[in-house]
Amino acid sequence: MDLSNLNNNQKVAVEKIGLPVLVFAGAGSGKTRVLTYKIAYLINEIGLPPENILAVTFTNKAAQEMKTRVFELVDKDISNINIGTFHSISAHILRREIHLLGYANSFTIYDQQDSRSLVKKVMKNLNLDLKQIEPKSIQARISNAKNSLQSVDYFKDINDNYSDKKFYEIYGAYQEELKNCDSLDFDDLLVLPLKLFKEFPDRLEKYQDKFQYVLVDEYQDTNKPQFEFIYSLSSLHKNIFVVGDDDQSIYGWRGADISNILNFKEAFGESHIEKLEQNYRSTNNILQAAWSVVSKNTNRSEKKLWTENGSGELINLIESFDDRHEAKQIYNLVLKFKNNLNNIAILYRTNSQSRIIEDRLRIGGIPYQIVGGVKFYDRKEIKDVIAYIRFLVNNNDSISFDRIVNFPPRGIGKTSIDKINEFYSTNSDSYLDLSNCIDNISVGPKQKLALDDFLSLIKKHKSKIDSNKGSDIVKTMISDLKLEHYYMKQKTDESIDRWNNIQEFLNGIEEYEINNPESNLVEYLEEISLLTDIDKWNDSENKVTLMTVHSSKGLEFDNIVIAGLEDGLFPIVRAFEDDNIEEERRLFYVALTRAKKAVNISYAKSRRQFGGAPMITTKSRFIKEIPEEIMNVNLISNSENPSFDNFKKGNFKKYKKYSSLKSTPNDSIIVNTLVEHKVFGKGKVLKIEGVGENSKLTIKFYNNVVKKLILKYANLTIIKG
- Catalytic residue set: 31-32, 217-218, 248, 594
699-to-211, 312, 668, 687, 716 alpha-carbon distances in Å = 53, 46, 15, 7, 11
How many other CB atoms are found less than 10 A from the CB of residue 102?
8
Asked whether 69 and 58 are in contact (CB, 8 A), the reply is no
Asked whether 267 and 261 are in contact (CB, 8 A), the reply is no
Q: Which residues of 281-307 are buried (b: 16+ CB within 10 A; e: fewer)?
A: bbbbbbbbbbbbbbbeeeebeebebeb
CA-nearest of 512, 688, 712 to 621 is 712
Asked whether 707 and 665 are in contact (CB, 8 A), the reply is no
Give, for 117, the enclosing helix (H) or strand (E).
helix 112-125
Distance CA 261, CA 277 (A): 17
For helices 186-199 and 201-210, the axis angle rounded to 10 degrees is 110
244-to-6, 57, 213 alpha-carbon distances in Å = 18, 11, 17
163-to-154, 538, 544, 704 alpha-carbon distances in Å = 15, 45, 45, 19
Contacts of residue 131, defined as CB under 8 A and 6 or more positions apart, other chains included, come to: none
The long-range contacts involving 501-508, CB below 8 angstroms and separated by at least 24 positions, are 501/376, 501/379, 501/381, 501/382, 502/381, 502/382, 502/385, 502/478, 504/376, 505/376, 505/382, 505/385, 506/471, 506/474, 506/475, 506/478
